[in-house]
Copies of this chain bind each other. A is one copy, B any other.
């Protein structure tokens, strides 16, 4: 079946976003990344910065605060905690977008949210820590915290987020139709393979 939606999950610094953009350009698909954050922010009245953070990371930085996130904290909207409210709205908006037109969606749990759509190709982009460190510094510049620490922190929080909202372990091949090591294979090659798969029957 032809794939008209490409859901790309990626490790921070792996170049998954750039790959997604290339795929969208090649196929003439719409590209959702920051645009999705804007959409969720517009529809909920929550600031983009908060949606950006809450829609992929739990505030939790370790298992204790992770466990507490199921019970603690104030309920902000519709009797839900902020995290949960953003997830519910984001899920709804992603499902709406998938109905509308062919698109590439980067991150935001789209692989899980669209898991039942036969026309959705699920992709994971990952890379070695060394490759990602070099890329993060080049893309986002040096910060006070080292690239390695920033990456490991994002990895940890994304893993917890994914576990909390999907019940799945992050990084398992079985959750994707294809996973690619962008550091080893190169961004262009990854984009070519994904675009090729989407075009096939």
Residues of A within 8 A of B (CB): 124, 126, 171-174, 176-181, 184-185, 189, 193, 196-197, 200
Which B residues are CB-close (under 8 A) to A124? 173
Q: Which listed residue, B126, B178, B179, B185, touches A185 by the CB 8 Å rule?
A: B178
Q: Which listed residue, B126, B174, B185, touches A171 by the CB 8 Å rule?
A: B174
Assess whether A177 is in contact with B184, with CB atoms less than 8 Å apart: yes
Question: Assuming A171-B174, A178-B179, what are 5 further A-B pairs, CB within 8 angstroms?
Answer: A171-B172, A172-B172, A172-B173, A173-B173, A173-B176
Assess whether B177 is in contact with A178, with CB atoms less than 8 Å apart: no
Assess whether A189 is in contact with B200, with CB atoms less than 8 Å apart: yes
Query: DSSP majority for the A interface?
Result: mixed
Q: How far is the CB of A54 from chain B (nearest CB, A)?
A: 25
Q: With A and B bound together, what is the CA distance between A189 and B196 in angstroms?
A: 10
Which B residues are CB-close (under 8 A) to A173? 124, 126, 171-173, 176, 179
Q: With A and B bound together, what is the CA distance between A173 and B9 in angstroms?
A: 12
Q: How far is the CB of A13 from chain B (nearest CB, A)?
A: 14
Assess whether B181 is in contact with A181, with CB atoms less than 8 Å apart: no
- 21 A-B pairs with C-beta separation under 8 A: A126-B173, A126-B174, A171-B174, A172-B172, A172-B173, A173-B176, A173-B179, A174-B181, A176-B181, A177-B181, A177-B184, A177-B185, A178-B178, A178-B179, A178-B181, A179-B179, A185-B197, A189-B197, A189-B200, A193-B193, A193-B196
Q: How far is the CB of A115 from chain B (nearest CB, A)?
A: 12
Q: With A and B bound together, what is the CA distance between A176 and B127 in angstroms?
A: 10
Q: How far is the CB of A148 from chain B (nearest CB, A)?
A: 16
Which B residues are CB-close (under 8 A) to A179? 173, 176, 178-179
Q: How far is the CB of A5 from chain B (nearest CB, A)?
A: 14
